[in-house]
Chain A
Amino acid sequence: MPVPAYSFLLLSGVVFTLGAIGFMVRRNPLVVFMCIELMLNAVNLAFAAMSRYLNSLDGVVFAFLVITVAAAEVVVGIAIIVQVYRAGRQMDVDELDLMKD
């Protein structure tokens, strides 16, 4: 008995929501980054599920591109976080206002 597509999409939506909650609630920039990765992963799951149930390859290719973009994003983001840490700033997204002034 195959798993219905709805269950995959529902799981994807719940995981995305958890990532969004973490993105807004957590203060450590690294954990905020991990929550972004969680959301991207949830979207990839939805892409793969629809790709499977519509017998199409577009979703799989798109999910692959999302994985690539997420890797690039993590590299640059972590480089920025390390720079901020080396500058002796506090690791708190609420306190980071270097760009403001």
Chain B
Amino acid sequence: MVVGFAIVAAWELVTAVGVVAFRKPMYNALSLVANMLGLAVLFLMLNAQFLFAAQIIVYAGAVMVLFVFIIALMNPETDISFRPRGTEWIYGVVFGVVFAALLGGLLFNRGLTGRTGAFTPEVIAAAGNVQTIGIALYTRFLFPVEVTSVLLLVAAVGAVYLAMRRIR
């Protein structure tokens, strides 16, 4: 389990660096696909099978296909994807180090306490992972689910409107 986590974590870090650092947008997109597949494996290790399936279907299946299509369609030039001067990279890395130090400090100075719930892995396994989450979604979290459905409708309408319209 620990060895598996180490392998997947290294995979995540390498592909995340690839998303940020590759020059060609297509390579960035493929790194992001690899990153999302690794994340799906991490979800599986965390006993979140439903998230595993949603991650594969929605992210790796739909969102990244959209990205790859658009990149193949537009074929954006690669020369503008990096700044001509190196100073912004330095600023970015300095920001990153400071931000990571803040996050790490926050993480290790506070204990990971919280109100524990009733959904131990045994309880979830007895009822089924998807069934448990489905019941939670449509009882306790009904209002957020409805709001999200409205959001999806608005996004679909907005995308159709933007696709019909021509700027100038």
Contacts and interface: CB of A to CB of B under 8 A. Distances in A.
Interface string B151-162: 110111011001
Dominant secondary structure at the A interface: helix
Highest count of chain A CB atoms <10 Å: which of B29, B63, B163: B63
A40 to B, nearest CB: 9
A37 B9 CA distance: 18
A25 B82 CA distance: 8
Interface residues of A, number: 74
B19 to A, nearest CB: 6
A99 to B, nearest CB: 12
Contacts, number: 238
A79 B115 CA distance: 42
B76 A28 contact: yes
Contact of B59 (A1, A50, A61, A67): A67
A81 B95 CA distance: 27
B43 to A, nearest CB: 6
Interface residues of B, number: 86
Contacts of B92: 21-22, 24-25
B126 interface: no
Contacts of A76: 155, 158-159, 162
Interface in B103-124: 103-104, 107-108, 112, 114-121
A6 B5 CA distance: 12
B20 A19 contact: yes
B34 to A, nearest CB: 12
Interface string A58-81: 101101110111111111101111
Contacts of B59: 37, 41, 67, 70-71
Contact of A34 (B28, B47, B54): B28
B50 A60 contact: yes
Contacts of B117: 54-58
B128 interface: no
Given A11-B9, A73-B155, A79-B162, 16 more contacts: A2-B1, A14-B13, A19-B20, A30-B71, A31-B28, A50-B114, A57-B132, A61-B136, A67-B54, A68-B148, A70-B59, A71-B152, A78-B70, A79-B159, A85-B76, A87-B168
Interface of A: 1-3, 5-11, 13-22, 24-28, 30-31, 33-35, 37-38, 41, 44-45, 48-58, 60-61, 63-65, 67-76, 78-87, 90-92
22 contacts: A3-B1, A3-B2, A5-B112, A14-B13, A15-B16, A19-B19, A25-B83, A31-B19, A31-B81, A34-B32, A37-B63, A41-B35, A50-B114, A51-B48, A53-B112, A65-B145, A67-B58, A70-B59, A79-B159, A86-B166, A87-B168, A91-B77
